């Protein structure tokens, strides 16, 4: 087995774990049923946003805050090892309120967040008008600014990670679905349609597909399920949206290449890959509520992805150090990639010796 570890699933989570473990001296093989990084990790908006996304304290909230702190160094190191430049913006986020009720909710959220170390400050309508001139003023009651939130391009991260992982000797088996895993006392087996291979440990990083895998030798895996999201994109001039802008369930952000991304629906529709024009229209209407000028424009892109839902985030061993779980990242898997990679690497290094 020679210090070999299998990573099952090559989204941003599987690739991050693979890269970190390879840096630690393990021989890594990644198995993906298709091309790596083409599912949720391709679809994601890429917000690094405890301010926008965290409403209450939880183990996931704590990991999100920790991972946000790790992110800049993670991206710097990824750029250095891959030679790929990654669009990462650290300009913060604003969340808008168009009624006193919405403003009160933002204040309550800010109070809860300050108790867990997420900073924000209030903005008056006049400040929003000055610094975010395209935002709808009509009925604006105020906003909060989250200075710690940021944005990254998930697709550039995956491209970079693939190169960095390969440069560290990681073997990528694309187009190889794993059909089953068996966890033994001294090894773990990974089965595909035509092979049965033995590893020192296996990491399950299948996102929304994680609990569909047949696993024996340990109790059944905790459930994972897909939560579909539609996103739309507009071609817009640079600096149209220099921070994340949120209102209710809607968020807007702009990539360095000009694409203005608007998200997102939250749908419990199984693995239905249909792109629904009506859902895209709803997003377009919500976007125009924030940026009225978008009412004159048609989105240039619409796409969907499957968030990996689960009852709780799973990062660590499952009844054996030879089976590590890395799934259930739901709305924050891009943000949580660095901390997930560090935790799984630490668990394997602490419990297994390279044989
Ligand atoms: P995935 O990227 O889905 O990867 C799973 C991999 O497993 C796939 O490559 C798949 O091909 C492979 N696979 C499946 N079955 C098998 C099998 N049997 N054998 C081998 N391989 C298999 N997160 C953020 O942090 N910020 C955001 O702004 C954000 N926005 C989002 C917006 C939307 C609309 C969506 C859908 C998600 C968003 N997310 C965001 C969440 C984020 O995308 C996910 O949490 C993250 O990408 C999960 O990564 P993953 O590697 O676990 O899963
Ligand atoms: N984190 C944004 C989303 O999941 O839509």
Report the CATH number at residue 299.
Answer: 3.30.9.10
Q: Is 311 helix (H, G, I), strand (E, B) or coil?
A: coil
Cα-Cα-Cα-Cα dihedral sign, residues 343, 223, 40, 32: positive
Shared-domain flag, residues 165 and 294: no
What ligand is nearest to the CA atom of residue 191? 1
pLDDT value for 94: 98
d(CA 23, CA 133): 46
207, 191: one domain: yes
For a mutational test of ligand 1's pocket, the pick from 333, 339, 340, i.e. the residue with the most ligand atoms closer than 8 A to its C-beta, is 333
Which residues have a Cβ under 8 Å from the Cβ of 322 and sit 6 or more positions away?
183, 184, 187, 188, 200, 201, 202, 352
81 & 167 share domain: yes
Q: What is the pLDDT of residue 306?
A: 98
On whether both 304 and 315 belong to a single domain, the answer is no
Of all protein residues, whose CA lies closest to atom 2 belonging to ligand 2? 331
Q: 53 CB under 6 A from ligand 2?
A: yes
In angstroms, what CA-CA distances link 47 with 209, 232, 279?
Answer: 23, 15, 21
232 with 297, same domain: the answer is yes
Pocket test for ligand 1, best of 14, 18, 40 (most atoms within 8 A of CB): 40
Atom of ligand 1 nearest to the CA of 47: 28
Q: Among 25, 340, 339, 351, which residue's Cα sits nearest to residue 210?
A: 340
Find the 331 Cα to ligand 2 centroid distance in Å. Answer: 4
Query: Is the minimum distance from the CB of 21 to ligand 1 under 6 angstroms?
Result: no
Q: Give the atom of ligand 2 at the shortest distance from the alpha carbon of 49.
A: 1
Ligand nearest to the Cα of 181, by number? 1
C-beta of 228 in contact with ligand 2 (< 6 A):
no
Say whether both 295 and 230 belong to one domain. yes
Q: Is residue 138 located within the same domain as residue 18?
A: no
Report the distance separating Cα 85 and Cα 96, nearest Å: 32
Q: Examine the domain organization and report whether 106 and 125 are in the same domain.
A: yes
Angle at 51 between CA 49 and CA 55, to 5 degrees: 110
DSSP 267: B
Q: Which atom of ligand 2 is nearest to the CA of 45?
A: 2
Residue 231 CA, closest ligand 2 atom number? 5
Specify whether 172 is located in the same domain as 253.
no
Q: Which ligand is nearest to the CA of 53?
A: 2
Give counts: helices (H), strands (E), the chain: 9, 21
Pairing of strands 4-8, 201-204: parallel
Does the Cβ of 9 fall within 6 Å of ligand 2? no
Structural domains in the chain (count): 2
The reply to whether ligand 1 has any atom less than 6 angstroms from the CB of 31 is yes
Q: Which candidate, 69, 51, 48, places its Cα nearest to that of 109?
A: 51
Locus of tokens 């160094």: 73
pLDDT score at 130: 96
The pair of three-digit structure tokens given for residue 78, joined into one six-digit string: 């990824």
Nearest-angstrom CA–CA distance, 3 and 198:
11
What is the residue with the minimal CA distance to atom 4 of ligand 2?
331
d(CA 189, CA 180): 8
How far apart, in whole angstroms, are the C-alpha atoms of residue 9 and residue 30?
Answer: 7
| CB neighbour class for 248 (10 Å; exposed up to 12, middle 13-18, buried from 19) | middle
Kindly report the CATH number assigned to the domain that includes residue 57: 3.50.50.60
Q: Are residues 18 and 161 in the same domain?
A: yes
**Ligand that comes closest to the CA of residue 44:** 1
Q: Are residues 80 and 181 in the same domain?
A: yes
pLDDT of residue 355: 76
Instruction: Report how far ligand 1's centroid is from the alpha carbon of 114 (Å).
Output: 30
| Residue closest to 12 by CA, chosen among 304, 339, 324, 333 | 333
- Residues 191 and 237 both lie in one domain: no
Q: Are 46 and 252 in contact (CB under 8 A)?
A: no
Rounded distance between C-alpha atoms, residue 50 and residue 65, angstroms:
6
4 ligand 2 Cβ < 6 A: no
Q: Are 15 and 37 in contact (CB under 8 A)?
A: yes
What span, in angstroms and rounded, lies between the C-alpha atoms of 17 and 339? 10
Of the candidates 248, 255, 243, which has an alpha carbon nearest to the alpha carbon of residue 45?
255
Per-residue CA distances from 288 to 125, 228, 234, 281, 298 (Å): 18, 23, 12, 10, 11
- Using a 6 Å cutoff on CB, does residue 177 contact ligand 1? yes
CA-nearest residue, atom 32 of ligand 1: 44
Identify whether the C-beta of residue 32 lies closer than 8 Å to the C-beta of residue 56: no
pLDDT tens digits along 207-242: 999 999 999 999 999 999 999 999 999 999 999 999
Specify the pTM.
0.98
Q: Which atom of ligand 1 lies at the shortest distance from residue 264's CA?
A: 34
For position 179, what pLDDT does the model report? 97
The two structure tokens encoding residue 230: 């539609």
- Region for 3 from its dihedrals, namely left if φ exceeds 0, alpha if ψ lies in -120 to 50, beta otherwise: left
Instruction: State residue 1's pLDDT score.
Output: 55
- What residue ranges of the chain have pLDDT lower than 50? none
The three-state secondary structure class of 65 is helix
- Pairing outcome for strands 214-216 and 178-183: parallel
Which domain covers residue 139, as residue numbers? 91-147+225-308
Kindly state if the Cβ of 98 falls inside 6 Å of ligand 1: no
Q: Please report which ligand is nearest the Cα atom of 154.
A: 1
CA distance 335 to 59: 14
């Amino acid at each position: 087995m020679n210090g070999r570890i299998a990573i099952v699933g090559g989204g941003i989570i599987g690739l991050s774990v693979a890269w970190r473990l390879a840096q630690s001296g393990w021989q890594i093989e990644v198995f993906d049923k298709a091309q790596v990084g083409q599912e949720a990790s391709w679809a994601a908006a890429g917000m690094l946003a405890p301010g926008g996304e965290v409403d209450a304290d939880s183990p996931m909230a704590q990991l999100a805050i920790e991972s946000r702190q790790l992110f800049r160094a993670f991206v710097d190191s990824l750029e250095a090892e891959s030679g790929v430049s990654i669009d990462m913006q650290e300009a913060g986020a604003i969340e808008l309120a168009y009624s006193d009720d919405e403003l009160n909710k933002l204040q309550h959220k800010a109070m809860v967040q300050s108790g867990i170390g997420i900073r924000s400050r209030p903005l008056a309508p006049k400040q929003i008008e000055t610094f975010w001139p395209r935002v709808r003023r009509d009925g604006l009651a105020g906003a909060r600014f989250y200075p710690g939130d940021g944005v990254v391009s998930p697709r550039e991260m995956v491209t970079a990670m693939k190169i960095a992982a390969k440069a560290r000797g990681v073997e990528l088996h694309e187009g190889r679905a794993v059909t089953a895993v068996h966890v033994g006392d001294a090894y773990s087996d990974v089965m595909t349609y035509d092979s049965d291979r033995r590893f020192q440990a296996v990491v399950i990083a299948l996102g929304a597909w994680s609990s569909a895998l047949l696993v024996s030798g340990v109790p059944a895996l905790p459930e994972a399920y897909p939560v579909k999201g539609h996103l739309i994109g507009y071609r817009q001039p640079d600096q149209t949206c220099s921070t994340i802008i949120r209102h209710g369930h809607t968020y807007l952000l702009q990539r360095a290449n000009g694409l203005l991304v608007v998200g997102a629906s939250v749908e419990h529709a199984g693995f239905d890959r249909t792109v629904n024009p009506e859902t895209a229209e709803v997003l377009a209407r919500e976007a125009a509520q924030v940026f009225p000028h978008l009412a004159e424009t048609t989105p240039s892109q619409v796409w969907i992805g499957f968030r990996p839902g689960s009852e709780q985030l799973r990062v660590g061993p499952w009844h054996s150090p030879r089976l590590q779980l890395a799934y259930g990242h739901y709305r924050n898997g891009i943000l949580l990639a660095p901390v997930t990679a560090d935790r799984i690497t630490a668990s394997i290094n602490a419990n297994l010796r390279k044989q």
